Homo-oligomer: A and B are copies of this chain.
């Protein structure tokens, strides 16, 4: 098994300088810890709780930043797509297209993402059971593209809360596709603050560690130097200056987990 991949970056792309600052810090942290690194950022927040929430830089500006990050740091980049139309354009540059959880059953979006030939990271809808992700993956795979990742990000658990069911990780792994744990969205509290989501940032490293101990392929974590002033998802992002320690810790669990695989 490969060492753990860390998918990390800000929730929203804010600027090229901001992206570089975070990518530099994360790349160094991952290199020191022996982790692979994929830089994450969103160019558009298409499903904000409230209309007044910031949408983002847009696709053109976003793609220019991703190109620059690739050139500067030599790392792959991942971003989320929201419509079929975006897929081909985004796929010209970005290494992995991410399907948002709410959209994980939209057949045409999955097919368009698959047809780019790029990696496709599908987040499990909060409304789906883990075995249902098998038919989701089949939609992507029908395009001939098997570079699929399946990502846990929490399941609806009453109102304004999510729960990350650890059984879901080995269940999704039965498909044969790599499994990702999105540790920061799984601690979000949707609608928890009325016009925006709340979150329990302190539990993100808890869920990340628990998941990594099961031998998964990657952890997804959003991070920011000042989460409380970030344009979105502040309550659940991890402080950037804590990330080196978090990554190093996860790598120790990753090595142990991969030396002692669970058979489920």
Q: Is the CB of B102 within 8 A of A167?
A: no
Query: CA A75 – CA B98 in complex, angstroms?
Result: 42
Stoichiometry, as copies per complex, reads 4
Given A158-B161, A214-B210, A253-B213; A190-B127 close (CB under 8 Å): yes
**Residue in chain B with minimal CB distance to A210:** B210
Chain A positions 118-163 with a Cβ under 8 Å from a chain B Cβ? 125-132, 135, 138-139, 142, 155-161, 163
A71 interface hit (Cβ, 8 Å) = no
A219 interface hit (Cβ, 8 Å) = no
**Which chain B positions have C-beta within 8 A of A142?**
51
**Which chain B positions have C-beta within 8 A of A48?**
105, 107
Report the minimum CB–CB distance from A67 to chain B (whole Å): 25
Given A157-B157, A256-B252; A167-B206 close (CB under 8 Å): yes
In the complex, identify which listed stretch (A23-31, A58-66, A88-96, A195-203) lies at the interface while the others stay far away: A195-203
Residues of A within 8 A of B (CB): 46-51, 55, 82-84, 102-103, 105-108, 125-132, 135, 138-139, 142, 155-161, 163-167, 169-170, 187, 190-191, 194-195, 200, 202-203, 205-207, 209-214, 249, 252-253, 256, 260, 262, 264
